[in-house]
Structure 1
């Protein structure tokens, strides 16, 4: 039986099909993980960001497809406000994660954009 926790899918066999099966079996699209201090969709987006930063096309494709599954299932994203998008914060600040996720989702074609963003 497939895990109903997307973070378990990420750890053991991260594929688009496995994530779809996780959700088909009742997995939580908006799963929050205390260890990572982030939502599963944020984890997937940050993996895409890291792959893009590293120039790893295969990993980018994998995580792009996983992000698409989350977005198809209406994952909740904590979008930044226009004011929040301009703040300079520490990498340990939750807003930093939200800024990166917002920006990367824009790269992937999702969400609101702002002039002069990030």
Structure 2
């Protein structure tokens, strides 16, 4: 297969007066990853995270919006008291996750028109 890596950026900002840990989850961990996968943000701090995906070209000139596989991302966040190890934190405290935000990331091929609004 002729797979290609595409990427998109997302800005995450801590709008709280306390430290917040965040972590990405995806339905396709073998073909998608994020950098960073998680971090601790101080009050008012923001970070640009990059979402990477390995995609395969459409079969038989299929439109990108009709591809069967849909990848979903979720950002989980949790109030914390300073710098700690993020992956272990979410494994231990998954029941206390404060916010879950589903993020739709649309990867577009520059050679094709945008499917948004179609």
TM-score normalised to structure 2 length: 0.23
Superposition TM-score, scaled by structure 1 size? 0.23
Hey, which of these two has a bigger chunk of strand by percent? 2
Higher helix fraction (1 or 2): 1
